[in-house]
Structure 1
């Protein structure tokens, strides 16, 4: 059995150490040191390669995500400019000629065809939004529409309209809560999967608010222009609270429309013929449009302030006013008739209060004749736009050229996702710096 020489025995000289032994031990030490240095070098190189690989993988994953990011749902709030069926479901069906151009039947829209919200849904490759209150044939898998004709931002009891923006917000909160309850209680699996949004969709959805026109419209009927202007900050504060509440409910991407040139609505010009010096080159009421501009200026200021308070949200301000006025200003050049003429005049039910008074057998009557070709007109019924006008405006605003920041609606989901990766990129740079320092 071979004997092991211990360190103690060697030190005590029990076994002699000759020159050859010393050379062998020295060579072994050198070999061991070389091996250690090589292993450490390989490990460091391996770590460096892993770091580079991780970085490349992360960059690739971000590019792939940006290429495929999209909204799972849309939640819309507003008035008749984006109502796809709330009014019809709650107060009586809008009859033909509403809906005649595109749908060929009553569609619940105050238009001959599609609204701006419909064109946005098409651009995002999503189905048209079902109205929250419509119980027949509705599918909320990709969102819901809470907009209601006659709605305003502030409560206005004297207008007999019940579904103001605050009420729509409460409807959304109930909608979201009941979906959560259904998932928790294990309801009908097929129904939950095919007809309702997933719980995680609420934080990834696009939230659109298109409201404010009626706040000015109603107020101008009863108040002076000076009084209306003085109340604008209160209206804007209210819409700010709605945005903050939606944020608390999980909303992170907002698409906020300002209000259009109310002084160019045929009904406003007809009911309030402009006095000398109060008419622009298109015949619009200058003072009314100035009120709309003041409203929009306060709205933009509020949005800028909100951006500093909720920095992980993307709030896009959409300049509907400029898009619509550009259309009006170029009407004849673009092949439209006089922008102050409407296709249908008059249609009963232009105002919700009158609609309720003119019901017969639960159907709102439609009076008056309509033009044979609505696509030649900007105004449909003296208050609302035709499908052709809505499509023109939608194409402009969806491109982002009339938005602050200038982000196309199709890129909004990617833009917010990019904002969400900024902190990750900062952390990555810090890790790279630490690694470089270690290697040096």
Structure 2
């Protein structure tokens, strides 16, 4: 069985992200909504006041060799998806909003964005990085739409050949709440509201003409070094013995994912003409936390590549890019980049599993 796993993984590795997929699976454009897991520069253009570190190296060091506004050392899942369909990397909306139409796709994601509107959090005295929530991003899309097509028939034809990604989004709704002292017990009842915001966004996009939509779930955030550092427990039973991740936090994110899947099924019944795909980011990535060295992550999965020391190399007062922090020599050997985001190598691993590993339902490739 182990030999078979090695063979399958070797096959996946040989499938280059640069290879363009068959014409039957081809899209002419990609439109992306989300947060820092897929932002390609919008937050940077706004000034990145809450997280200025992403303006400089080591962010972007591996592939682009300069900071691009991506919260990683290189490419993100959305970049590998664009490569796979032979499309250019998605420009951030704020860089092209006033320019000529960008017909091959646009990225509306903003680092720090929430699924629920920012006003909800300010009413609870929770400070966010940005007010550019999912609702704001939808507004940007509607503003851009008139430059892409005019008549309903033209829009239908154009969007029929476009891929829409709605997320990952929602992680910040939980994380900022945790950082401001909320507990898992307090946030669990919020799951329907967070998922509801995502579902409403998908519905709006379908009404606007979207036909092919990918809606990712949450990653196993209880494995991230920020969580492991800030929410560490003296109770050994708080940790998953197979991964070392925080069980209760991951249980919350799994609950979110299951709730999201249920609501997406209702959407499919409501819009039978649309292809609504669930991308299982959790399932696609959890195996690298169980056996990181098996998949080539010899630096491990729980310790950040870039950070300021401590058991998991995460130090809130010396986070990646700040004085006192250092970056590892080989980010490709690590899963965790800076405590809350993955390395390019880990994002590449997840993206290949979405395409070829059966972690998108229905399959991303028809």
Q: Alpha-carbon deviation of 1:399?
A: 1.7
Match of 1:172 among 126, 141, 144: 141
Match of 1:280?
240
Q: Alpha-carbon deviation of 1:220?
A: 2.1
Where structure 1 has 5 or more consecutive residues not aligned to the other structure, the ranges are 1-65, 184-196, 348-353, 359-363, 416-440
Mean Cα deviation higher: 80-89 or 328-337? 328-337
Match of 2:158?
201
Change (3 A) 1:400 1:306: farther
Match of 2:31 among 75, 100, 107: 75
Work out whether 1:235 is the aligned partner of 2:194.
Answer: yes
Change (3 A) 1:373 1:232: same
Match of 1:114 among 52, 75, 82: 75
Give per-residue Cα distances to partners, 1:121-152, cap 9 Å, x unaligned.
11111110000012599982211000010011
- Assess if the C-alpha contact under 8 Å between 1:300 and 1:317 holds in 2: yes
Match of 1:251?
210
- Assess if the C-alpha contact under 8 Å between 1:342 and 1:378 holds in 2: yes
For 2:187 and 2:100, the matched residues in 1 are separated by: 38
- Assess if the C-alpha contact under 8 Å between 2:103 and 2:148 holds in 1: no
Instruction: Give 1:354-369 correspondences, 5 Å limit.
Output: 366-367=322-323, 368-369=325-326
For 2:293 and 2:40, the matched residues in 1 are separated by: 29
Match of 2:66?
105
Change (3 A) 1:341 1:141: same
Where structure 2 has 5 or more consecutive residues not aligned to the other structure, the ranges are 1-21, 49-53, 310-316
Give per-residue Cα distances to partners, 1:159-206, cap 9 Å, x unaligned.
23211111111110111034446x9xxxxxxxxxxxxx9884223210
Q: Alpha-carbon deviation of 1:243?
A: 0.7
Match of 1:374 among 331, 342, 361: 331
- Assess if the C-alpha contact under 8 Å between 1:131 and 1:138 holds in 2: no
Match of 1:345?
307
Match of 2:113?
151
Change (3 A) 1:346 1:141: farther
Give per-residue Cα distances to partners, 1:369-409, cap 9 Å, x unaligned.
1111111111111111111111111111122511222x1x3
Match of 1:162?
131
Match of 2:102?
140
Match of 1:214 among 172, 180, 185: 172
Aligned residues: CA RMSD? 2.6
Q: Alpha-carbon deviation of 1:322?
A: 0.9
- Assess if the C-alpha contact under 8 Å between 1:85 and 1:131 holds in 2: yes
Match of 2:354?
397
Work out whether 1:294 is the aligned partner of 2:263.
Answer: no
- Assess if the C-alpha contact under 8 Å between 1:259 and 1:292 holds in 2: yes
Q: Alpha-carbon deviation of 1:262?
A: 1.1
Change (3 A) 1:139 1:346: farther
For 1:266 and 1:250, the matched residues in 2 are separated by: 40
Q: Alpha-carbon deviation of 1:342?
A: 0.6
Q: Which has the larger radius of gyration?
A: 1
Mean Cα deviation higher: 213-222 or 386-395? 213-222
Q: Alpha-carbon deviation of 1:91?
A: 1.6
Change (3 A) 1:73 1:299: same
- Assess if the C-alpha contact under 8 Å between 2:57 and 2:321 holds in 1: no
- Assess if the C-alpha contact under 8 Å between 1:96 and 1:366 holds in 2: no
Q: Alpha-carbon deviation of 1:346?
A: 3.8
The structure with more helix, counted as a fraction of residues: 1
Q: Secondary structure at the match of 1:277?
A: helix
For 2:82 and 2:331, the matched residues in 1 are separated by: 22
Match of 1:50?
none
Residue-pair matches, total: 317
- Assess if the C-alpha contact under 8 Å between 1:120 and 1:394 holds in 2: yes
TM-score, with structure 1 as normaliser: 0.68
Work out whether 1:125 is the aligned partner of 2:82.
Answer: no
For 1:198 and 1:376, the matched residues in 2 are separated by: 44
